[in-house]
């Protein structure tokens, strides 16, 4: 039992060490060459998102995109490119297309039941933007809000030679309503995965990762590694392919995208189960590919292998707590070292937020959060046994 727990939690421990050390070090891998002039387009895959799409488009316009006009984007002289927004209304049954067009986006309607999943919508958007003259593509979810500097910050990283980038991706708490400990804990956990871990990997020169929202790819990267992924965790699946091909995702520290926290516990459980189950599904299928890359001499893939098999933090903590019932001295020392790493990891995540003291106070609800994660395990296992379909999160009302 002790050996099984150590083996199960070892990828998480390795991932925590990399992330903690990388955030403390925070060096940036040098770029030796600048890329060609970047012509960036924003691609927004949308499936029944008429409640949020206008807000997303408006935030992108404020971040430096241009509203759609009659003439083709990029038709002006070289150097005068204006970033356009391409919304792919994918098998929608609502007013997503109308709302997006009214807000100032170009709209591509993809109504084909044979093409399912976010991957299909992104491929459609990338190709439409490429035909319009773009040579780089920024993917933004249809329920998200971009920081005002997102477009220039992404362009700067791509112009410096990055083949792919990922900005900060965080959840936003509801602007009104009661202060709920479990909601704040979920936001904190999300920040730890999508900000702290990405910063840490980038700080040690590894690939930061892709999180499905706020990532950018050059046309060269897409030509070298086609975006032919279709799982519910298309971001992890594609990131594995990039790393195995020797490409790295650069971290954009000062720009962000924010997505709303699901407002009901059932919607949150569905999101968590689809994410965890999807990650496990991708990890099991990609392990052979990762090991082949390692044996081929790409040692950096070892970090990607640890990430793919890393337990969610709450499940790792529960596994380490089981060691208290085992009469084995060495596993107690292993668990103690793990506890120290978990504490350092959580504190780093707390102080990356804008309200660290409220996040610290919310940690008193951590046991409830772990029990909730334990309770949704059957749902996670069901999702891991099949390729889950892309579906929007249930919205109760128009977001402000």
Residue 78: the pLDDT is 45
Closest CA relative to residue 51, chosen from 96, 107, 86, 97: 96
**Does residue 79 register a pLDDT over 80?**
no
Residue 30: the pLDDT is 54
**Does residue 53 register a pLDDT over 70?**
yes
Residue 150: the pLDDT is 96
Q: What is the pLDDT of residues 158-174, one digit of tens each?
A: 999 999 999 999 998 87
Domain count, the chain: 1
Residue 291: the pLDDT is 93
Q: Which residue has the higher pLDDT, 299 or 388?
A: 299
Average of pLDDT values for 311-332? 90
Instruction: Kindly state whether residue 374 falls inside one of the protein's structural domains.
Output: yes
Residue 394: the pLDDT is 56
Q: What percent of the chain has pLDDT over 70?
A: 88
Residue 182: the pLDDT is 81
Instruction: Kindly state whether residue 269 falls inside one of the protein's structural domains.
Output: yes
**Residue 344 half-sphere exposure toward CB, CA atoms < 13 A:** 19
- Residue 74 — pLDDT band, cuts 50, 70, 90? very low
Instruction: Kindly state whether residue 300 falls inside one of the protein's structural domains.
Output: yes
Instruction: Kindly state whether residue 293 falls inside one of the protein's structural domains.
Output: yes
CB 236 within 8 A of CB 284: no
Q: What percent of the chain has pLDDT over 90?
A: 57
Instruction: Kindly state whether residue 42 falls inside one of the protein's structural domains.
Output: no
Instruction: Kindly state whether residue 122 falls inside one of the protein's structural domains.
Output: no
Residue 272: the pLDDT is 77
Q: What is the pLDDT of residues 92-139, one digit of tens each?
A: 999 999 999 999 999 999 888 777 789 999 999 999 999 999 999 999
* Highest mean pLDDT pick, 23-37, 125-139, 173-187: 125-139
Lowest mean pLDDT among 19-28, 81-90, 176-185, 216-225: 176-185
Which CATH number is 359's domain given? Answer: 3.90.550
Instruction: Kindly state whether residue 45 falls inside one of the protein's structural domains.
Output: no
Instruction: Kindly state whether residue 89 falls inside one of the protein's structural domains.
Output: no
Structural domain range at position 319: 2-27+135-384
Q: Which residue has the higher pLDDT, 276 or 78?
A: 276
Please tell me the distance from the alpha carbon of residue 306 to that of residue 286, in angstroms, as a whole number: 12
Q: What is the pLDDT of residues 210-255, one digit of tens each?
A: 999 999 999 999 999 999 988 778 899 999 999 999 999 999 999 9
Residue 179: the pLDDT is 59
Residue 393: the pLDDT is 58
**Does residue 386 register a pLDDT over 90?**
no
């Amino acid at each position: 039992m002790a050996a099984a727990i150590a083996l199960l939690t070892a990828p998480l421990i390795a991932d925590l060490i990399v992330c903690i050390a990388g955030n403390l070090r925070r060096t940036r891998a040098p770029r030796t060459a600048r890329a060609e002039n970047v012509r960036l387009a924003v691609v927004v895959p949308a499936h029944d998102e008429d409640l949020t799409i206008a807000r997303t488009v408006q935030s992108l316009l404020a971040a430096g995109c241009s509203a759609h006009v009659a003439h083709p984007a990029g038709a002006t002289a070289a150097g005068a490119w204006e970033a356009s927004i391409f919304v792919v209304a994918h098998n929608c049954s609502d007013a997503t297309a109308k709302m997006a067009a009214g807000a100032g986006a170009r709209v591509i309607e993809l109504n084909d039941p044979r093409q399912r999943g976010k991957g299909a919508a992104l491929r459609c958007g990338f190709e439409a933007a490429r035909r319009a003259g773009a040579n780089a593509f920024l993917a933004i979810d249809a329920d998200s809000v971009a920081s005002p500097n997102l477009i220039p910050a992404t362009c700067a990283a791509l112009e410096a030679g990055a083949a792919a980038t990922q900005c900060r991706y965080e959840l936003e708490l509801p602007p009104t309503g009661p202060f709920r400990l479990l909601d704040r804990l979920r936001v904190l956990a999300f920040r730890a995965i999508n900000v702290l871990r990405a910063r840490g990997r980038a700080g040690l020169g590894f690939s930061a990762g892709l999180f499905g929202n706020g990532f950018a790819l050059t046309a060269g990267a897409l030509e070298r590694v086609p975006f032919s992924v279709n799982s519910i965790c298309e971001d992890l699946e594609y990131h594995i392919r990039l790393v195995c091909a020797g490409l790295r995702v650069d971290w954009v520290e000062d720009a962000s995208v924010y997505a709303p926290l699901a407002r009901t516990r059932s919607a949150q459980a569905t999101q968590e189960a689809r994410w965890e189950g999807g990650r496990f599904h991708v990890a099991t299928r990609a392990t052979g590919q990762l090991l082949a890359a390692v044996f081929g001499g790409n040692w950096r893939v070892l970090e990607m292998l640890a990430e793919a098999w890393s337990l969610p933090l709450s499940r790792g903590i529960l596994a380490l707590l089981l060691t208290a019932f085992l009469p084995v001295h060495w596993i107690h020392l292993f668990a103690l070292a793990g506890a120290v790493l978990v504490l350092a990891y959580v504190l780093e995540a707390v102080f990356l937020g804008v309200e660290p003291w409220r996040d610290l106070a919310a940690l008193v609800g951590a046991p409830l959060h772990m029990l909730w994660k334990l309770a949704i395990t059957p749902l996670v296992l069901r999702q891991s046994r099949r390729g889950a379909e892309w579906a929007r999160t249930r919205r109760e009302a128009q977001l402000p």
